[in-house]
Amino acid sequence: MTDPILKVRGLTKSFGGLVATRDVDLDLRAGEIHALIGPNGAGKSTLVQLISGALRPDAGSVQFGGQDVSALTTAARARKGMARTFQISSLAMEYSVLQNVVLGALGRRGDVFRFFNRVMKDQQLLKVAEKALVQVGLQDVRAFRTSDLSHGQRRQLEVAVALTLDPKAFLMDEPMAGLGAEGSQQLQGFLDQLRHQAPILLIEHDMDAVFALADRISVLVYGEIIATGTVDEIRGNPAVRQAYLGEVAE
């Protein structure tokens, strides 16, 4: 087995008296979708923020691509290929669809301090951007203003921007949130393919999607991972059933 792309060890974070993340170990291996589930308030978003660098942990480490990135900022982790999509679409709303993906490609290439080039005519950036748009199926709306997109299209655009970062791993915070049944299905099919490009750490509420997609599942309850395993192992785990699935009509 090759080393995991993302390796989280002993991650702990508390806010005052509340321990939001408690001694979390987590691996993301090449080619897999690793789903992170848990009831509301389990600390999923906190964990994502710790991994992406938006929050500083009290203890523990995050290793990415064989390197300790615990001390790096969000931006530095992104440059190393950690591509995050947000629970609530986080895009440059006044920009066109194309500008958003070109921004991704530019951020990845890193030369933002150029003052007299024509960035929207940069063939290298456009090529990367166009490829990402085609991959998510947004090529026909490239000239649309992002604020004019539907909710589902914004979610797709988030993924497209993540694709421009030449990602080594995806961190997806509830990509299905707010999508209709059809949209969910589409995105599900897409993520199914995407895992071969780079592994996905998937935070998701939609249990059908999780069970259909995930290679492995980790269950987070009160900031602690109570079980990690394959879909079947998690389905059969009594502690998980009691803590979590029992609340859902199974």
Partner 1 sequence: MTRESCLNVVLMGLLLAVPLAAWALDEPFIITLTTRAVIFAIAGVGLNLALGFGGLVSFGHAAFFGLGGYAMGILAYHAQTYTPLMDWPFVIEGTKSMLVIWPVAIVASGLAALAIGALSLRTSGVYFIMITLAFGQMFFYFTISWSAYGGEDGLSIYVRNSFPGLNTMDPIQFFAICYGLLLLVLWGVHRMANASFGLALRAARQNEERLQAVGQVPYRLYLTAFAISGAITGLAGALFADLNRFVSPSMLSWQTSGEIMVFVILGGVGRVYGPVAGAALFILLEHTLGGLSPYWHVYLGAILLGVVLFARGGIFGLLAGREVAHD
Judged by the rule CB under 8 A, the positions of this chain that interact with partner 1 are 52, 73-76, 78-79, 83-84, 86, 90-96, 98-99, 102-104, 106-108, 110-120, 122, 143, 145, 161, 164-165
Least Cβ distance, residue 228 to partner 1 (angstroms) = 27
User: CA-CA distances (angstroms) from residue 91 to 95, 96, 97, 136, 234?
Assistant: 8, 10, 9, 16, 35
CB of 164 to partner 1, least distance (A): 8
The nearest distance, CB 202 to partner 1, in angstroms, is 17
- Nearest residue (CB) to partner 1, 52 versus 188: 52
Residue 127 per-residue DSSP state: H
Strands 82-85 and 224-229: unpaired
Least Å from the CB of residue 115 to partner 1: 5
Minimum distance between the CB of residue 236 and partner 1, rounded to whole angstroms?
Answer: 37
Specify the residue, 107 or 229, whose C-beta has the smaller distance to partner 1.
107
| Cα four-point dihedral sign 152, 153, 154, 158 | positive
Beta carbon nearer to partner 1, 35 or 165: 165
Question: Taking Cα atoms as reference points, which of 239, 223, 198, 236 lies closest to residue 43?
Answer: 223
Q: Between 117 and 242, name the residue whose CB sits nearer to partner 1.
A: 117
Which of 37/48 has CB closer to partner 1? 48
Distance CA 125, CA 120 (A): 8
Estimate the share of the chain in helix, then strand, then coil, as percent rounded to the nearest 5: 40, 25, 35
